[in-house]
Structures are given as structure tokens and as C-alpha cells.
A and B are shown apart, each in its own frame.
Chain A
Amino acid sequence: MSEHGLPAATAMSAAGPGRAPAGRANIDYVVITAATAGGGHRPNDDAIGVNGWVLTAEDVNPLDLTVPVVDHRAAVVSLTDGLAGAAGGDVAAAVAARRLTARQTQRSATAEAFREAFRQADELVHEASTDDLPGIGCSAAAVLIRADGRAFVGNVGDVRLYQILNGYIGRLTRDDRARTEEGPSGADRVVTRCLGGRLRIPVEVHFTEIPVLPGDRLLLCSDGLYDTVSDSEIEQALKAQRPGHAIAGLVKAAKSRGGGNITVVLLEPRGRSVRGPAPVLTPQPSPQPSPEPPPQPELASAEKTSFLKKLLRG
């Protein structure tokens, strides 16, 4: 039984695009670019977790990080967002971020360890509740990227993870939230699942496994962004600008539209990749043989190669 509620046999094929690795990929490191802005009158309750580090800030310049990925240690990045309207959201976010990206998750780097990280983060957030801060909770999304190009994505609540392919943006996470009444502001929405909270319900993680290739892009963001900036605007910004400028611009745009607690984290795996065989379409319906392709200019390629060699030799 998968986290999607599908029978195990169908869970893999139904887990989203690119479920099986295409070719081979070696991820050597992940470039992380992050930007955040607080909510003004109350502290920023978003927290970024990177390999056990917890980053929180108010209005700061974008941050660039390079996280190495090796065989025995994956890169784990999370974004947690304290429940709005409740005190202690920042505490819950920090506790969850620390556990989600902790060393044991990096080291084992298995799907089960990744799920277990969510379960334990839920427990820790529950335990962090006190009489002064009862029922604190947070939304969370995390991604674990392994050196072999496999990545695990999980989320609870309303933090999102997008994947950007060929300039298009697609959401890999599922929101656990709903609108309570008509209205443009996030205050009209409620989170229906979270880590921690008043109820001790076994945490249900939306889990997906995807392949990542060098050059792919993943975007973690809190509701402060996507409540005010549309997916197509995010898509356009990432297409047109360099990462740092793009996410800084997104945060700025969200803030200018009244958003608060906006955090955006862009992840770019880098390394070497060996593409698999070219995609094959379904058999063509052509009743007649397709025109004979002309002979390939093999010698032309050879000439090109020799020319390049000459250039390289200077």
C-alpha cells in the first residue's frame, strides 16, 4: 500500500512522471539558492533545512549554497512552515526541519528512512508543545537527492515542491489544505494535515520517487509565494532570469502583493549524466514506408571533430 492509497503494484508507475531513471546520472552536488521574507508584524515561521542545518531569517538577500552529494551521503533539503494563526509556528518549523534533514536521513537515504523522518518529525513537534505553546504544528515538504540520481519527495500540509522541465512547471506535492470561504487571501484557507498540531493522528506523507538529472530544477516554496504569485508567473521568472534574480524577484513580487512569510528554495542538481535511449513513440500508422533518409554525413562529422581538435590544440 503506497502513501497515495494505491495498491503497491501500481504505486511506482503512478507516482508521477519520470518514475524510473532515464539513463544514468551521477549527482555530484546540489546548488541551492534561497530567498525569504518575513510577515512583517510577526516572526517568519518558515524554516529551511539543509543536511541538518536550519536556516531562518527575515528579509535578507538571496543565499547560495553548494551541497556535495556522495554515495554514502545524500542531500536533504526541506522547507517547513509553521501553522498560521498559532503561536509557536516558528518553533515547530525549526524542530521539523532539523529532524527531516538530519544525518540519519542523509546516511541511509532510503524511502523508508525518509518516511520515518517525517514520522519522527511529527513526534518531535508534538513533544515540543508546552502549556504556553499548545498544539504547535507546521507544514513540511522535503526532498532527498542521492548520488545515483534518485530523489524522494515527501510533503505534509501546504508547502509545495515544483519540478521545472523544458520550461514548464509541474507540482510534485499534494496540498493538504482547503479554502474555507471565497477570498483571495491565505487567511481563508485551512491546513487539513500537518506535522504536530492538536490531534495525534498518524502522519500521512504524500510520497513520490523521481529521477533527477543534472540540469533539472526543483523549487520548494511556502504558501506565501503561491497564494499571491501564479504558477505561470513562477514559470516565466525561472525561464527568463538567473536563479538568484528569479527567486528574489518572486519573493519581492509576493511581498508587494501583500504576501507574508514567503520562502523560496531553488535546487539545481549538478553532475554527469548519461541519457538513456531516445524516447520511442507508439507505432506510426503510416501504411507506406517513410522516405529513405539520406545517408548521414559521417565524414562531415569527422571533419567537424578534427576542426574542434585543432581549435582545442590552439
Chain B
Amino acid sequence: MRRPKPTRAPESAPETAPFDGVPLPPLLVNLVESPRPFASGGTFDFLRLATWKETGRPVVIKHFKKTNPDLEKVWQRWKSADERHVTRLLHTEKERVRGGGTQPWYFEVTEYHPLGSLHDYVEKLDDHRLAEEQALEVLAQLTEALNYLHTSIAEGNRSQNLVHCDIKPSNILVRGTDPLDVVLADFGSARLLMTEQKVETAGLTVPYAAPEARWHRAPQMDWWSLGISMIELVQGFHPYVNPTNLELLPDPVISEMVRSSPVPIDSEPGPRWTNLFQGLTAWQIGERWSAQKVGAWLEGKHLDVDSSIGPRGGQELPFEFAGRTVYRPRDLAREMRTHWSASAALVIGSAWTDLLRWSKEVDPALRGRLDAVSRELIDKRAHVDLIVTETLVQLDRSGPPYYRGERMEPEDLGRLAVRAEKGDREAADLVVALHESGSLSALGNLHGRLSLHEIHVKWRTALDVALPLTASIPSWIDAIDRTELLIKTLRAALNDEYAKYLSDHVDKLATERAARHTQWFTALINAARTGERTPAMDALVTVCFPLLTRTGRESGRESGTDQQEEAEDDLGTAARTAVFAPRPAPDPPIVKSVWRVWPRRLDRQVVRPKPWTRRRKLELVAVVWAGTVLPVIAASGVGLATAPVQGMLAGCAFALGAGLLWLAVNLRPSRLRGALFGGWLGMVFGYAVALFALVTVGPVLGAAAGWPAFWTVWTGIVMAATARGAAR
């Protein structure tokens, strides 16, 4: 397939460049003649063409500022190298600097190859790639050259051998084309083998640099570069190009791709070439092909390749988080503490994979701990905040306790709870999230932060008592403010004085009129004040108190009245049960006395606190008038007509009737209320019937028989009506 012409990397040198006027050093001046501008290369190197006086052949003079610490030693090895593999180095010289102001210029003179580089040669071909035979020839020669550099140049002394470090088509010179004869050139980035080098990237050509080149320079990186070069020469374009326009991708993009994924290889050259390319670009240094395996491949063998990605060694590896690069788990923890949302994204998203891989390299034990986080929290879908907190703990156990960017020492927690109680919405949300996620317990695993775990246990224990009771709040009442309950219980868990304040506050609430007249709330208070006092119950009572006024409002509703009353009973029962459950239940009574049952039943009846409307006030006046004035008038009349005892009895009957009526009106529907109403009606109608008995019996048998008849009939009718009312 005809390929579009690829755009080349910046290493492509312009054919001409301005001569910058740097004078040749004194020794070199005597060795060459007619120097003239030729081309410019990298940032600091410049090329001139000249004639070597000794042979009369053209040479290239290159001058540059030194960036390679091994330069002098590299020159020494290069000069003695076999000309079959490398271009010939004829002369080197360092400029003498007077005054020590600037860096000296370095000069090197090499033989000139008019055919140029392999890059130039391929550019001139029709499809910008080598024919298969040429590619095999180039591969064989370069393999031999690299093997020579890496193993043979100093005759057995490995520390004297060279790593080129910048293999690419533009650094491979073409000495002849029939057959194709190539040699290595430009050792400006070369290093001696086994030399400890500080990690630096100067001199690297990124599109050809091996993944380990950022921290390590070894012979294997030359084989990677050879692999990339061969891919480019065989398939006709560099592997790291934009698929839409075949332009070379930017260096940072290539670095990232090299670090994270296999080299993209076009399928067109065929599986045999793919085998070679994959072998030379194996990510793992130890698995990467070198001279021996390439030789076997050239003989026609198909070899296994390792296609794993990611370092296996113990190098200090970078980890990217929230736009920053960190190298140690502790540094990552520091960044995570201040970038909570990014931390959440890390544990939710695919970046967790990167973290696991990174942790394995920097600390295998850390990898084990993070695997536990995966297994116990992530896989079980724990709250994201808890996962982040636990990850922070595993990354840095000595670090400070942080949650959602806030420091969480006990005193910080106290301040947070105070802020929340004062109405700070953000602080309140934080308290709620802290409870829902359970992160406080995880923070207690930090060194020296056991107190946080203890606070968590106290808080959670208190809420275990209080929260189930809040679930019994019926739907017709506005939902209880659970946030306030969380805040108060947290404060109580943090501070004993606050717990005592709550206790005192509950005692004070118990004296409030509304509290005394609301049965379920009274039950709650009694529960809170009975036995061992718990801050949770005190907090619950405090939080529930505002509901009393809402209860009053709700009572005006027609609908839901029955539900309300039943719910009140339920809540009271729940509150009692929660507190009394730990105690052993008393033995059941053998005989259930009516007098032991009724007071309790009465105790459960609710006198609903109604608002004092004008109508209610009039009702009260009427009841008081009927209960006092009418009995007095009736008693006076009866007493004057008969006897004082009769008058007193009649007055008591009137007063009792008025009292029963008032009580019946204010009670909720029940048997007791029915009985009271029935009794009152019995009193009213019974009075008429009893009066009839009196006027019938009295004139015949006399007053001594008439009055007992009257009271007997009246009492009987009242009792019968009471029983009927209770039954209905």
C-alpha cells in the first residue's frame, strides 16, 4: 500500500545552516583546510565541512557545548572502535577558555559520508521504506555494530564498553548503497557501560527512547531504539504518529504511550516482522531481544516475545495524581488529603489500577494492603469516603487524620460539632457524612489516633440506641431532625460536660407543661431518666421536644387522628422497651386486679393539649358553672324541700355529672370515654325516671320509702348507662 509521506521528527536536519563564527581551535586549524558551513544539528552542535589535510578527503567538523559527562571517555573508545561498525573519529579538541566566563566549545572531526543518513536515504525512496532485503541487511549490520559496542570494544572490560543512547535513522550513516552499508554515528549521548548515571533526559530523542530511559541507561535501550528505527524503516512511518494525518505525536504523548501500552505496529509488514518488532520493543528490559535473539530471528526462527507492560524492578517510579507527580506513598497521601474529590475519583475509577501497579513497585507490602482495601471495601461497595480514608491510612499510617480535607483530631471534631450545632450547613453535612461512611473508625487506625476509634465506638453505640427509636416517629409528624441527633450524640461522645448538660436539660424539659401533657414524650423522658442515663436518650429527648408543638398543630387535622394516637402509643412503648429491655422482666401477676389495670390504662390516656380558643373558654365557663352553681341551686332546693342530706347528695350528683362530661369531652375515643359519656347521660335521664319513681312511691308509701326508691332507680340507671357506653 502506498503510504502518505510522513512528517518527520525534529531530528531531520536542515541542509544548510548559518555559520556561527566560532573559531576553530589551534590544533584543528592546522589539520583541516577550507572549512565551510554545512548543517546544524541539535541545540548546541553545529557542523562544518572541511578537507582533511592528511588524506585530502572531506570531513565533518562538529562543535558543541558539553552535556555528556562521559564525553572524553566516549571519545577515547570511539577513536579505537572498529571502522566497520562506526564512522571514523579523526580528531577531538576542547576550546581553551580564558577567564573562565563561559563553557568551552568541544570539537570533533569525523569522516564525511556524502550519501547522508539512513533517514535521508529512505526519504528519497518512492514509498519511504526499505525493501525487505535491504531492511534485513541493515538489521544485520546494526545488530553486529551494537553488539560490538556493548561487548567487544574494550576487549573484555565491560566497564569500558559503550551504550550509544541515541540510535535512530538520522544517526545511522550510509557508506554505500550496493550493497547497502551503514555505520553508527553521533556518540554525543553515549555512555560508558556500568556507569552510575544520574537520571536525566538530556540528549534523548523521545520517539526512539526506551521506557526505562527516564531513570536508567543500559545497553537494552539501544535495542529498543533499533526496534523503533526498524519499524519506521520497514513500515514507512514512525509507530507513534497521529492516525488521522500521520504526523509524529508530541514528545509527552509518546512518553505516556511508551510507558503505558505496547508499541503500535502496523500489520502490513507481516507476522514475521511483527515478531521482531515486538521482541525488540519488549517493555521488560530482561525480556527485550538483543544480538543473540535477533541473530536467531535473522536465521528464520520465530521466537517468543514478552508483551507485559509496566516495570518489574524497584526503581523509584512516579505516580500522577491531581496534576502532580509523586514518588512515595507518603507524598501521595499528602496530596490525597488535600484533594478529596480527586481521591474519590481515584478509588472509583480506572486510576485505581495504576495505583495498585505503582504500589507493587514501590512497596510490595503496600500492594498487599491496598489489595485488602480492594477486597474488603471496594468490592463490597463500601462508602467512597471510607475507601479513601482507609487508602490514606494504608499509604501513610503516621500521617495526620483528615476527612474531606478537614483535619479530624478530637479537638477539631469538637469544633466541627459546635459549628454544626450552631447551624453551619457545611459542618452539619460533614458530620452526617462522617457517620454514614464510618470513616472515623478508619482514622483510628493511624498511629497515635486510637482516641478517634474510641470516639467512633461511643458515638456509634449511642446512635444504636437512639436511631431505632426515631424510626418510630409516625409519618404525620414532621421527620425528626436526625442531623441534630447525630451532632448532639457526637458532642456527647466527645465531651462528658456536654453529656451532663444534656442530662440537666432533659430534667428541665420534664417540667414543661407540654411535656407533661404528652404521653409519648413523657414516656421518652421517663425512659431517659430511669436507670442508667445515656447521652443518646437525653439527646433524643432534646431533639424530640420541638415536635410537641407540631403535635399540637397536627391534632387539629381531622384525618389521621387515629393513626396519631396509635403512633403515640407505639413511640411511648418503643421508648420504654428500649430502656427497660435490658432489665429482667418481673414475674407476671397471678391475679390481674382491676385496680392494677385501670390506673395504667388511665395513665396511658392522652389529654390532648388543645389551643385555648374562645369557644374552649366558653365551654370551660359553662362546665364550671354547671359543676358549681347548678349543683348548689339544686342542692339548696332539694335540701329545703326535704332534708339537708338529700340536698347534699343531689349537689354531688350534679357536680359529678359536670365533671364526667368535661372529662369525656377531652378524652380520645375509648371505652373509658364511652363509659363516662354513658354515665353522664344516665345521670340526666335517670334523674327524670327516678323523679317519677319518687312521686309514684312517695305519696303511697311515704317519704321514707320514696327517697330510697329515687336513689336506687337513679343509681341503677347511671350504672346501666355507664356499662352500655363502655360497651359501645
> Which residues of chain A have a CB within 8 Å of any CB of chain B?
1, 4-7, 10, 13-20, 22, 83, 85-86, 135, 137, 162-163, 165-174, 178-181, 190-194, 197-202, 204, 206, 208, 211, 213, 231-232, 235, 275-282, 284-287, 290-291, 293-301, 303-304, 306-307, 310-311
Contact = CB atoms under 8 A, between A and B. Distances in A.
B261 A5 contact: yes
Given A16-B349, A198-B244, A298-B581, A180 B250 contact: yes
Interface stretch (B171-179, B470-478, B707-715): B470-478
Nearest to A89: B244
B603 to A, nearest CB: 18
A298 B581 CA distance: 8
Contacts of B376: 279-282
A20 B380 CA distance: 8
B380 A299 contact: no
12 contacts: A17-B349, A20-B379, A181-B250, A192-B242, A198-B245, A200-B266, A231-B341, A282-B369, A284-B445, A293-B461, A294-B464, A303-B472
Interface string B459-502: 00100110011011011000000000000000000000000000
B691 interface: no
A14 B446 CA distance: 25
- Please indicate which of the listed interface residues A173, A275, A291, A294 has the most CB atoms of chain B within 10 Å of its own CB: A294
B346 interface: yes
A279 B244 contact: no
B384 A168 contact: yes
B266 A199 contact: yes
A170 B243 contact: no
B382 A178 contact: no
Contacts of B442: 281
A-side binding surface: helix, strand, loop or mixed? loop
B445 A173 contact: no
B220 interface: no
Contacts of A295: 581-582
B204 interface: no
B567 interface: yes
A83 B475 CA distance: 55
B243 A168 contact: no
- How big is the B interface, by class? 35 or more
B390 interface: yes
B308 interface: yes
A191 B453 CA distance: 48
A152 B376 CA distance: 22
A202 B263 CA distance: 11
A17 to B, nearest CB: 4
Interface stretch (B186-194, B252-260, B625-633): B252-260
A14 B445 contact: no
B90 to A, nearest CB: 42
Contacts of B267: 200-202
B264 interface: yes
Nearest to A232: B341
Interface in B683-715: none
Interface of B: 4, 241-246, 249-250, 252-253, 256-257, 260-262, 264-268, 283, 307-310, 341, 344-353, 356-357, 369, 371-372, 374-387, 390, 437-438, 441-442, 444-445, 450, 453-454, 457-458, 461, 464-465, 468-469, 471-472, 474-475, 534, 563, 566-567, 570, 573-575, 577-578, 581-582
B573 A170 contact: no
A285 B445 contact: yes
A178 B250 CA distance: 8
Contact of B469 (A13, A190, A275, A297): A297
B475 A300 contact: no
B262 A304 contact: no
A197 B243 contact: yes
B454 to A, nearest CB: 7
Contact of B308 (A1, A299, A311): A1
Contacts of A10: 356
A278 B582 CA distance: 26
A231 B471 CA distance: 37
A19 B356 CA distance: 14
A307 B474 contact: yes
When A and B form their complex, which 3 residue pairs have the shortest distance between CB atoms, in order from nearest?
A: A170-B348, A5-B309, A178-B253
A282 B376 CA distance: 8
Contact of A180 (B253, B268, B345, B382): B253
Contacts of B437: 166
Nearest to B349: A170
Given A18-B378, A168-B345, A307-B472, A282 B577 contact: no
A281 B386 CA distance: 9
Given A1-B307, A293-B461, A279 B386 contact: yes
A300 B243 contact: no
- Please indicate which of the listed interface residues B348, B458, B570 has the most CB atoms of chain A within 10 Å of its own CB: B348
B244 A137 contact: yes
B381 A307 contact: no
A191 B253 CA distance: 10
Nearest to B580: A299
B361 to A, nearest CB: 13
Nearest to B462: A294
Nearest to B441: A281
B359 to A, nearest CB: 10
Contacts of A179: 250, 252-253
Nearest to B3: A198
B496 to A, nearest CB: 14
A16 B309 contact: no
Nearest to A163: B348
A171 B345 contact: yes
Given A6-B309, A286-B450, A300-B469, A311 B266 contact: no
A303 B573 contact: yes
B278 to A, nearest CB: 12
Given A201-B265, A293-B464, A279 B384 contact: no
Contacts of B381: 18, 22, 165, 211, 213, 275-276, 279
